[in-house]
Amino acid sequence: MENEKMITFEVNGKLVSLEKKPGEMLADLLRERLGLTGTKIGCNEAECGACTVVIDGEAILSCNFPAEKAHGKQITTIEGLATKKENGNGNGRQGEYTVHPLQDAFIRYGAVQCGFCIPGQIMTSYALLESNPEPSVEEIQYALKDTLCRCAGYPSIIGAVQAASESIRTGNPISDPVVPIARDAGRIVGHSVYRPDSIAKVTGSAIYSDDLHFDGMLHARVKRAMIPAGIVESIDTSAAEALPGVKAVLTAKDLFAEKVHGLVIKDWPVMVGVGEKVRYVGDAIAIVAADTRDIATEAIKLIQVKIKPLPIVNSAVLAHKEDAPQIHESGNLLKHIKVRKGDMDSGFADADVVLEHTFFTNPNDHAFLEPECSIARPLENGRMEIYVGSQIPYADREQVASVLGLEEEQVRIIGQLIGGGFGGKEDIAGQVHAAMLAQKTGQPVKLLFDRQESLIVHPKRHATQIKLKVGAKSDGQLTAVETELYGDTGAYASLGEKVMTRATTHASGPYEIPNVKADCYAMYTNNPPAGAFRGFGVLQSAFAVETMMDMLAEELKVDLIKLREMNALRVGSVTNTGQLLDESVGLLECIEKVKTALYEKAGSDPFKPVFDQNDPNIVRSWGFAVAYKNTGLGGGAPDKAGAEIELLPDGVFEVRSASAELGQGLPTVLQLTAAEELGQGVDQVRVLLSDTDLTPDGGPTTASRQTYVTGNAVRHAAQAMRDLLTAELAERYDVNPEKITFIEGLAQIDRIQVPLADISKTLRADKVEPKVLYTYWAPETKPLGQGGKMHVAFSFAAQAVQVEVNLLSGEVKVPQVITANDVGFAINPLGLQGQIEGGAIMGIGHALTEDFVITDGQVITDRLARYRIPSIHYTPKITSFIVEHPTKDGPFGGKGVGEIVLIPTIPAITNAVYNAVGVRVDSLPVDQEKIRMAKVKQMV
Amino acid sequence: MGSWKEYSVVKTLDEAVHKLSTAIEPVKIIAGGTDLLLEIQQGHQPIVHTLIDVNNIDEMKCLEVRGQRLFIGAAVAVSKITNSPLVKQHALAVSEATGLIGGPQVRNAATIGGNVAHALPAADGMISLVAMDTQAVIYKDKSFVEVPIMSLFKGPGQSTLEKTEILVGFYFNLKQPGEASAFDRVMRPQGVALPILNNAIWIKRNRNIIEDIRIVFGPSGPVPTRAERVEEVLKGYAMEQSYIDLAKKTLRETVKFRTSKMRATAAYRYELADLLLERVLKKAWERTEEV
Ligand SMILES: Cc1cc2nc3c(=O)[nH]c(=O)nc-3n(C[C@H](O)[C@H](O)[C@H](O)COP(=O)(O)OP(=O)(O)OC[C@H]3O[C@@H](n4cnc5c(N)ncnc54)[C@H](O)[C@@H]3O)c2cc1C
Ligand code: FES
Ligand code: FES
């Protein structure tokens, strides 16, 4: 008789036998008891596919598979696909591992971004290829339907699976996809390279915060208000404290130093205490550390909280009413933001046509696949280490230190890989709470959000109401644009003021308009806070203004592309904030590129509805939109980043910056930049990010600023390193500095070659540290309202999108996207392609699937099953053009990429819907029911 | 603290019944667990003490022709049903419906028995079985009992199965010449993973006449119901647009749809019902021409 207490199964070819644990899922067993942390948990609710493993040949979700069911079965996890080589030199990509063709193909096709979904993608694909060695694109999409990638590398994933399939069948090695190089490519920059972290990400050895384990580590959970507005009357933690295994229960009473956190304005209470105000459902009331997560969860349930409800302020417009309940002592107005240019009266008087319309945008969640996780670890010397995937490590350090009552230097943020951020990992999530509990208990504490908590707690995209009034001459020349915006910044400021400022300054679109007036009210409400999210306010205003441009074109009977060309910003234009654009405005070229491709595909009248030949209820058409987006913080904010470079004893240059890699490919950009300047190949440059002890402040990873600001810092640091080495070598070898150059791994000193490793060692022996630090300050910018240069640069884009609408159901599909993006310079074309594809698909998600629903302050979409992000089925055919109008102060001319790629997609889709069926979408997302019911009305 | 304390894998129906009546309460049957475990985890069902895993009972894993009928065991994974040549031959509607449940990973675990026993009024697999006029086999009091599938439902999420009754499998008739079935549904891209509306149709054709027909929409009411008045309008008549239009009219008059918040208004559901009725009927009709 088998031992009833044990589960025995084979994992990656090894037999394991473990004691049964009540309630244990296979994912937990693999991760916690076998240390196989390559299997990821993204949702724990059978929605995302990140936890996919292969059991007896079939893809299975291990987060929802009782471990005991695995008894007697054969399991393959991501760790079982690659084989570690015995004598690997550990240097090259293929050095340590013999990877599976799928893993190889995922790297080569650039399918790996943040990497969190990748083990699940590869395991699902592996099961597919085992049963179907030659899948079609449709079969790949069918198989990967519920294996989500928020970075949306779907086109590259499809390409990679096809390439792997071919390689397995033919035995030929996988060849690289064709990605054009940058126009003015250098020796290294402007060429595609694989991400330095991709081998770890495809083999499952990449470590994210939740993959870390420390001896004696406790698990924390947070008691949340779950009521949107009220006064805390009492908190009783006694039952929780009495629960065996509970090590600490803390409430606001236990705060002895700073009691609030926040990025710009500190208005977010670490915990809400008795007598204090609850402002949203996610407010923390108490925190618990216990021996296990289950115990901590149980303890949270035992905490009794009484909250006297207050009236709920559930929208920005309501919040602005005079008699609205006041959410903060300062009132409900976070900021009134104004843009003024010219004279509105004369602007509208000059107009032949004036149109007015109000638009609505909904909140969105970042839905990064890796939920927030922080681990705090107290050191014996009184310091506190925090392991966290954070977009702004130095801001974390300051906020944690101030609450713990420590000096900033006493706290060390050790940034981990981030499984997607998109702006949602800028604010404090669990960092402070974990640190408080670690300080209290003296033990390491892990605080991991579950998906529901993630959806409820962290700041969202701002919901907005945007009223636009435009005036134009009959030929289409814009004479005046007036905008009134309401932005719902939720309970706390977060980056709300900055986001809504960007929404306001970009509110009249990338057009030169003589008379502009915009007023924005960024309002506090009792909804979850709103903050940074890829697109940063510009996404909302672009939806409004680009829809308005189409309405205007229709009214004036002018071609909608011509209308945009006529008014487009160009070199010599003055923006609505009074900035003269003296260079790097590629908008017209973006429009030209998209227009040409569009006419080629769809003929000279692409915006007319075309009925399907076989099904008269299917109609297709195209839509068009343009956008611009600032690079860098701008607006007078000092924008700087530090970078350090050291020549290590093994001859490798290490580049260090506390900037964050969210999956967007920053390390590659920095690696290429340093390699170019130092005459090296990519293998001689390593990048270390996000450790506040080891890396200089790179500033926030936001506002599409890292390529520009940190890229520049690295470029200058690399130049300084070259100068330092040159000077030292010239002295030592007594040669003219001009005779010294650097080539891969070597210094060429006149006629002799010396390995860099030797140089590093020699210098160190002489007490010269081969290390330089450079702090780059972006060119000064002017605050809003002062005119002049508000931003160091802008990126531009144009997109055309085809939609297919079913007239009977109202269902909308997006089969094709044409996109052109002016990014200044394509430092890493492969990484850029990932950003462009991912941006377009996120845009499709925002337009069609994503609806974050809050009803009276309660989050309705508190599961991934309710907040839907686009699956691989939404992958369109993407035609992409890179436009490169370099900006003179950017690294090699580069400017921001991460946000511009997604902004025009949404209005291009909604405009296409109008062109197809005549239903104007003025609130997001597109609602198929509304389309159908509008058609029904049109028929009667 | 965890969704269960004891997980018991049984090999026979008798062992299952025995455990169901003797194990520490609360006790529940688990098959794929794709509904049950999430419901417990998310607090929609109380935590259980004992789970009885019925995935290894041979009779429940069978999919085979028995006499003039096809038998599908309750513990057959829906992915197996979708891809089964037998199911494709005799009940394409069931293959289509099960092929739309969740994603491939979910389908590898989810069972058809769970889909029916969960008793949601729009469960895709269940709706297709209703159109097939399926008989359910229940193991109760040590014997197998056959009942019409419709008798299994009490209300949304509530089946009529008693605690120690196990759903063993399903029977429906093998396809005869002139017969065919089809299934389709319309989803909403936002929000819950349930269809706004689905529709399964079984049809028997005699030349250009619809000799017999069964039509089911889900969700329409708390328990699955056949659209019998609509069936009557079509039964015995030619497959012509005028009758289809009449059927749509009858549908609006006799089938009740509800407005459900965040999913669809009743008015929109009627629009979709029109669409589905015509689409699925035509698809089934075309299939009758195939041998
Ligand atoms: C991501 C996701 C997507 C989904 N999409 C769909 C969809 O599109 N369409 C759809 O219809 N469903 C969908 N579902 C629901 C679910 O997968 C199905 O209902 C599934 O078929 C349930 O089967 P199971 O074996 O997992 O049931 P379980 O969860 O194991 O059981 C469900 C219930 O039935 C009882 N039960 C199970 N087997 C028996 C038996 N033999 N006798 C008596 N009682 C029994 C259990 O006690 C339990 O109460 C989805 C689920 C997920 C997680
Ligand atoms: S973690 Fe299992 S499906 Fe998301
Ligand atoms: S790479 Fe897929 S989620 Fe980031």
Closest residue by Cα to atom 2, ligand 1, is B102
Where do you find CATH 1.10.150.120 in chain A?
Answer: 6-209
- pLDDT, mean of residues A546-571: 98
What is the fold of A6-209? DNA polymerase; domain 1 (1.10.150)
**Residue A92 confidence (pLDDT) above 70:** no
Q: Which CATH number fits domain A463-634+784-939: 3.40.50.2300, 3.90.10.10, 3.40.50.1100, 3.30.365.10?
A: 3.30.365.10
- For residue B1, tell me if it sits in a domain: no
CA dist., res. A2 & res. A507, Å (int): 70
How close is the nearest chain A Cα to the Cα of B106, in Å?
A: 7
Annotate A170-183 with DSSP letters as a single string. H-PPPPPP--PPPT
**B109 chain-A contacts, CB cut-off 8 A:** 60-61, 64-65
Here the ipTM equals 0.97
Pair B29, B126 in one domain? no
Ligand 1 centroid, distance to B156 Cα (angstroms): 14
Best of A114, A125, A197, A864 for a ligand 3 pocket test (most atoms within 8 Å of beta carbon): A114
Residue A876's pLDDT is 98
Chain B touched by A130 (CB under 8 Å): no
- pLDDT, mean of residues A536-546: 98
Ligand nearest to the CA of A206: 3
Residue in chain B lying closest to A873 (CA): B189
Annotate A61-73 with DSSP letters as a single string. EGGGSBGGGGTT-
Q: B227 CB less than 6 Å from ligand 1?
A: no
Pair B138, B184 in one domain? no
Pair B67, B18 in one domain? no
Q: Where are the beta strands (DSSP E) in A431-584?
A: 445-448, 463-472, 478-490, 515-524
- pLDDT, mean of residues A172-196: 93
Chain B touched by A64 (CB under 8 Å): yes
A376: nearest Cα among A220, A545, A263, A229: A220
Report the 10 Å Cβ neighbour count for A651: 18
Residue B168's pLDDT is 98
pLDDT digits (tens, 9 = 90+) for A499-528: 999 999 999 999 999 999 999 999 999 999
Strand partners, B217: B199, B225
From first CA to last CA, the distance across chain B in angstroms is 55
Percent of chain A topping pLDDT 90: 94
pLDDT digits (tens, 9 = 90+) for B195-251: 899 999 999 999 999 999 999 999 998 999 999 999 999 999 999 999 999 999 999
Chain A touched by B51 (CB under 8 Å): yes
- For residue B235, tell me if it sits in a domain: yes
Residue A89's pLDDT is 41
Chain B touched by A58 (CB under 8 Å): yes
**A59 chain-B contacts, CB cut-off 8 A:** 104-105, 108
**Residue A6 confidence (pLDDT) above 60:** yes
- pLDDT, mean of residues A579-584: 97
Pair B245, B153 in one domain? no
Ligand 3 centroid, distance to A198 Cα (angstroms): 12
pLDDT digits (tens, 9 = 90+) for A15-43: 999 999 999 999 999 999 999 999 999 99
pLDDT digits (tens, 9 = 90+) for B150-176: 999 999 999 999 999 999 999 999 999
Pair B46, B130 in one domain? no
**Residue A93 confidence (pLDDT) above 60:** no
Residues A523, A502 contacting (CB under 8 angstroms): no
Yes or no, beta carbons of A22 and B2 under 8 Å apart: yes
Q: Kindly report the three-state secondary structure assignment for every residue of A679-698.
A: CCCHHHEEEEECECCCCCCC
- pLDDT, mean of residues A460-488: 98
Ligand nearest to the CA of B4: 1
**Residue A767 confidence (pLDDT) above 80:** yes
Ligand nearest to the CA of A121: 3
Q: A115 CB less than 6 Å from ligand 3?
A: yes
Q: Rounded to the nearest 5°, which phi and psi values hold at A227?
A: -130, 135
Residue in chain A lying closest to B263 (CA): A929
**A450 chain-B contacts, CB cut-off 8 A:** none
Pair B161, B97 in one domain? yes
A6: nearest Cα among A61, A54, A67: A67
Query: Taking a contact as any Cβ pair under 8 Å apart, which residues of chain A between 796 and 825 contact chain B?
Result: 808-809, 811
CATH 3.90.1170.50 fits A212-310+370-419+425-457, yes or no: yes
Percent of chain B topping pLDDT 90: 95
Place of tokens 């069972």: B111
How close is the nearest chain A Cα to the Cα of B96, in Å?
A: 13
Pair B221, B248 in one domain? yes
- pLDDT, mean of residues A121-132: 98
Closest residue by Cα to atom 50, ligand 1, is B102
Class of domain A640-777: alpha beta
Q: Which of B150, B173, B196 is the last residue of a domain?
A: B173
**Residue A95 confidence (pLDDT) above 80:** no
Percent of chain A topping pLDDT 70: 98
Percent of chain B topping pLDDT 70: 98
Q: A886 CB less than 6 Å from ligand 3?
A: no
Q: Residue A84 — pLDDT band, cuts 50, 70, 90?
A: confident
**A145 chain-B contacts, CB cut-off 8 A:** 103-104
CA triple A635-A637-A638, angle to 5 deg: 135
A404: nearest Cα among A391, A388, A385: A385
Residue A1's pLDDT is 39
Chain A touched by B55 (CB under 8 Å): yes
Residue A820's pLDDT is 98
Mean model confidence pLDDT for chain A:
96
Yes or no, beta carbons of A863 and B51 under 8 Å apart: no
**Residue A90 confidence (pLDDT) above 70:** no
Pair B165, B251 in one domain? no
Where do you find CATH 3.30.365.10 in chain A?
Answer: 463-634+784-939, 640-777
Pair B154, B184 in one domain? no
A840: nearest Cα among A151, A165, A67, A57: A151
Query: Taking a contact as any Cβ pair under 8 Å apart, which residues of chain B between 195 and 254 contact chain A?
Result: none
CA dist., res. B20 & res. B13, Å (int): 10
Place of tokens 């690997």: A88
Chain B touched by A930 (CB under 8 Å): no
Ligand 1 centroid, distance to B119 Cα (angstroms): 9
Q: A823 CB less than 6 Å from ligand 3?
A: no
**Cβ neighbours for A343, distance < 8 A, ≥ 6 positions apart:** A515
pLDDT digits (tens, 9 = 90+) for B63-92: 999 999 999 999 999 999 999 999 999 999
CA triple A740-A744-A747, angle to 5 deg: 25
Residue A938's pLDDT is 86
Yes or no, beta carbons of B105 and A49 under 8 Å apart: yes
Q: Residue A284 — pLDDT band, cuts 50, 70, 90?
A: very high
Closest residue by Cα to atom 2, ligand 3, is A149
Q: B29 CB less than 6 Å from ligand 1?
A: yes
Residue in chain B lying closest to A146 (CA): B103
The boundaries of the domain holding residue B280 are: 179-287
Count of the separate structural domains present in chain B = 3
**A45 chain-B contacts, CB cut-off 8 A:** 38, 41-42
Ligand 3 centroid, distance to B234 Cα (angstroms): 51
Q: Mutating which of B188, B190, B265 best tests the A interface, going by the most A Cβ atoms within 10 A?
A: B190
Yes or no, beta carbons of B262 and A860 under 8 Å apart: yes
Q: B53 CB less than 6 Å from ligand 1?
A: no
Pair B77, B167 in one domain? yes
CA dist., res. B55 & res. B75, Å (int): 6
pLDDT digits (tens, 9 = 90+) for A836-894: 999 999 999 999 999 999 999 999 999 999 999 999 999 999 999 999 999 999 999 99
CA dist., res. A273 & res. A251, Å (int): 7
Count of pairs with CB atoms under 8 A, one residue in A, one in B: 120
Yes or no, beta carbons of A23 and B109 under 8 Å apart: no
**Residue B193 confidence (pLDDT) above 80:** no
- For residue B113, tell me if it sits in a domain: yes
**B53 chain-A contacts, CB cut-off 8 A:** 66, 68-69
Pair B186, B282 in one domain? yes
CA distances from A827 to A421, A636, A882, B79 (A): 22, 27, 11, 45
How many helices (H) and strands (E) chain B has is answered by 11, 14
Pair B117, B199 in one domain? no
Ligand 1 centroid, distance to B284 Cα (angstroms): 27
Q: Residue A632 — pLDDT band, cuts 50, 70, 90?
A: confident
How close is the nearest chain B Cα to the Cα of A849, in Å?
A: 5
CATH value at residue B233: 3.30.390.50
Ligand nearest to the CA of A147: 2
Yes or no, beta carbons of A932 and B190 under 8 Å apart: no
Yes or no, beta carbons of A848 and B9 under 8 Å apart: no
Residues B108, A127 contacting (CB under 8 angstroms): no
Yes or no, beta carbons of A64 and B38 under 8 Å apart: yes
